[in-house]
Chain A
Amino acid sequence: MSTRVEPRSTTVALDGEIVTPKSASKASRDRSWRLKVSIGQVVAILLILGVWQAISGNVIPDYLISSPTGVASDTFHLIQTRTMWKDILTTSQELVLGYAIGVVFGVLVGILMGSVKFLSGVFEPIIAGINGIPKIALAPLFLLWFGLGIWSKVAQASMIVFFVMYYNVYMGMLSISPMLVKLFQVMGANRGYVARKVVLPSLSVPIFAGLKACVPFAMIGVIVGEFIAADRGVGYFVLQATQQFDSAGLFSGIIIMVAMVLIGMRIVTFCQNRVLYWQKLGNDR
């Protein structure tokens, strides 16, 4: 490692402080670091796939673990079939609806409980109690209430999402700086202004933390619902494949689920970068 001092163009700002713009050499060092990491990741994945391919059919029977090539060709064929896309569409609908309903209620109840002390005093222990239920155990109940169609899956997903979202927002409400709120009150701000300009932006951080955590949770809810009883959906497809000892189909189904979750996460991250732009600023200092 060289300890050469990088040439920097510096400007002396107010208070005699020195502001250093991010230097070009740092950017190039960042880039080469990222390249190294990417190469490492590719090598690691190839290694895992290689081992999988090697032991498949030799050490462990093919019908148990299939093989990377088998899964790849299966996935490739599956996504060209009309029925697979119908399954994906169904699961997507359930996922989006369950996620949205859980998020909306989680945020609303979190804000309500965080702002009205009496309500949180009464309901906090009750909510904690309900949260203690292993929510998957409610799947048969939802089936009974909402039928075989998508709504029992939507209910299952939103139930799980709700609690994650609720706790994030509720804790977020409790961690809002009381000093900042008082300052704005002294400045003459009414409740509405404080809510819009101080409380909601403060909550954006815990809300996005929750939004990210909830994407895979929503998927769990939907798939559990489809496992219990369904006649379509990616979870249903995976269950069918399992019953037919079609391990390649099973893995393909899982890969499609992962792809759906990752796409969901990308969308949330995209929104997060737009809303929380201010958070990353100043990290160079």
Chain B
Amino acid sequence: MLEFRNVTKRFETPGGQEVTVLQDVSFTVDDDEFCVVVGPSGCGKSTLLNLALGLVPVSEGEIIHDGKRVESIVSSDVGYITQDANLLPWSTVLENIMSPLEIRGVPKTERRATAREWAEAVGLGKFVDYYPGQLSGGMQKRCSIARTMVYDPAMIYMDEPFGPLDAITRTILQETLLNLWQTRRKTILFITHDLVEAIALGDTVVVINGQPGTVKAKIPIPLSRPREIRHLAASTEFVDLHTRIWSYLEPGVESNAGELV
């Protein structure tokens, strides 16, 4: 379980001014929950993830991960999937997927076999000996998902993982992710600026908006699972949710635009 308790984050700008990025953020992610944080760019949602991972310290409040306060880099039993695939360009797909197992001291033959299974599971079975430079963006992303799933972390943090992909690839990968999650339940904290993606994937959607970013709403998504993402947008349930969540995003979007001018 992951809990944000009154978390505030301030940064100092190079000019020496203090900027508050997140203000008094509180919400809880339950075990095996797929929680999606949605908000416009600049609302501090990526910062939220960096705080939860212990990559940057909180200014006020606290984050409790599995009953322990997050104070340094969280590296036990968590996975992290970033916007860029961040693969090792000098290692093959298989070697990349194997690396977390290598870190965990899994014997060589076993880690080879496990990595191969996961390469198959994400559809890279034929590409295990390819180098990242030879793969498309979507395939690189598949590889980074396999690299995270391979060591079976209880919790996965995802920071706009499908952001840079084209719409078709994105939908296919969202379905792949949901299928994997369906068979192997995990706690997921997923960051996105795409409301459709948020509703399609999440059990709950946390809306963060404004500058500084604050939690505007936490909305359960009652859509039944398994979901077929490509047909989801047509359902009335979906449209209702979309309209409802949009209302929390709208004022912030306007004020953002106003500040930019």
Are these two chains actual partners, yes or no? yes
- Contact residues of A with B, CB < 8 Å? 13-17, 177, 179-180, 182-190, 193, 197-198, 201, 204, 278-279, 281-283, 285
**B75 adjacent to A14 (CB under 8 Å):** no
Which of B82, B104, B134 contacts A188 (CB under 8 A)?
B104
Q: A180-B86, A204-B90 are in contact. List 9 more A-B contacts (CB 8 A).
A: A14-B123, A16-B169, A182-B80, A186-B75, A186-B79, A188-B100, A190-B103, A198-B88, A279-B89
Is the contact region of chain A dominated by helix, strand, or loop, or is it mixed?
Answer: helix
**A281 adjacent to B82 (CB under 8 Å):** no
- Contact residues of B with A, CB < 8 Å? 53, 55, 73-76, 78-80, 82, 84, 86, 88-91, 99-100, 102-104, 123-124, 127, 131-136, 138-139, 142, 151, 168-169, 172
- For the complex of A and B, 4 pairs with smallest distance between CB atoms: A282-B133, A15-B138, A186-B80, A278-B90
Which of A17, A180, A184, A189 contacts B138 (CB under 8 A)?
A17
Given contacts A198-B88, A282-B131, contact A187 B138 (CB under 8 A): no
A200 to B20, CA, bound (A): 37
Q: Which residues of chain A are near B75, meaning CB under 8 Å?
A: 185-188
**A183 adjacent to B89 (CB under 8 Å):** no
> How far apart are B115's CB and chain A's nearest CB, in angstroms?
14
**B172 adjacent to A187 (CB under 8 Å):** no
Q: Which residues of chain B are near A201, meaning CB under 8 Å?
A: 88, 90
**B139 adjacent to A179 (CB under 8 Å):** no
**A17 adjacent to B86 (CB under 8 Å):** no
Closest residue of chain A to B55, judged by CB? A182
Given contacts A15-B136, A179-B82, contact A187 B99 (CB under 8 A): yes
> How far apart are B104's CB and chain A's nearest CB, in angstroms?
7
> How far apart are A34's CB and chain B's nearest CB, in angstroms?
24
Pull 11 A–B residue pairs with CB atoms less than 8 Å apart, ordered by A.
A14-B136, A15-B168, A17-B138, A182-B73, A186-B78, A187-B100, A189-B103, A193-B102, A197-B88, A278-B131, A282-B132
A201 to B91, CA, bound (A): 10
Closest residue of chain B to A178, judged by CB? B55
A204 to B89, CA, bound (A): 12
Q: Which residues of chain B are near A197, meaning CB under 8 Å?
A: 88, 99
**B86 adjacent to A179 (CB under 8 Å):** yes
A180 to B139, CA, bound (A): 18
> How far apart are A10's CB and chain B's nearest CB, in angstroms?
14
**B138 adjacent to A188 (CB under 8 Å):** no
